[in-house]
Amino acid sequence: MSGNITFTMLKPDAVENNHIGAILQKINEAGFRVRAMKYTRLTPEAAGQFYAVHAARPFYADLVKYMSSGPIVAAILEKDNAVTSFRDLIGATDPTKAAPGTIRALFAKSIEANAVHGSDSDENAQIEGSFFFSALERF
Ligand code: UDP
Ligand code: MG
């Protein structure tokens, strides 16, 4: 049984390049409702914690630096089958491999600066949502 919640971040490249509005429009048009949202910035420590699962990967140090390099938009989204549906909407990690029309194909700058994050499982959607939002910040 798949859940109806996923978590996303509009990453520093998307915010820096003024793509917040266009990306949120795509998300809404795909049928997602926003349940929580904030404009914020990760410290290097927080970015390292968020991506701790990738700590052993060669790209980790750069990723932490990049994700703390500027403001982001964090959000909890609701839709049936949210995790899979959102991964389909954003496309492959590497924008050169992302399907045409996906958010990463349209807005990502590189495999690192790839515009958006999307949770990879229902369990991680809950963990990641709780990383940014308290119960009182979800509507
Ligand atoms: N990343 C990177 N180089 C890589 C793979 C990933 O810089 O070779 C970055 C990229 O920003 C990606 C994030 O690390 O979104 C997390 O990687 P993951 O494999 O979880 O990709 P995602 O789930 O975001 O598609
Ligand atoms: Mg991932």
Q: What tens-digit pLDDT sequence spans the chain (139 residues)? A: 589 999 999 999 999 999 999 999 999 999 999 999 999 999 999 999 999 999 999 999 999 999 999 999 999 999 999 999 999 999 999 999 999 999 999 999 999 999 999 999 999 999 999 999 999 999 9
Q: Is 112 close to ligand 1, i.e. is its CB under 6 Å away?
A: yes
Q: What pLDDT score does 2 carry?
A: 87
The total number of structural domains in the chain stands at: 1
Q: Is 109 in the pocket of ligand 1 (CB under 6 A)?
A: no
| Secondary structure tally for the chain: helices H, strands E | 7, 4
**Catalytic residue check, 117:** yes
pTM of this structure: 0.97
Whether residue 93 has its Cβ less than 6 Å from ligand 1: yes
Q: Give the domain range for residue 53.
A: 5-138
Catalytic pick from 90, 117, 122, 133? 117
The residue whose CB lies within 8 Å of the most ligand 1 atoms, and thus the one to mutate among 93, 96, 109, 127, is 93
Q: Exposed, middle or buried, 120 (CB in 10 Å: 0-12/13-18/19+)?
A: middle
**What pLDDT sits at residue 30?**
98
Other beta carbons within 10 angstroms of residue 114's beta carbon come to: 23
Strand 5-10 vs strand 72-78: parallel, antiparallel, or unpaired?
Answer: antiparallel
Residue 35, token pair as written in the block: 């349940």
pLDDT at 81: 98
pLDDT score for 39: 98
CATH number for the domain including 130? 3.30.70.141
Contact (CB, 8 A) for 98 and 105? yes
Instruction: Output the residue whose Cα is nearest ligand 1's atom 21.
Output: 93
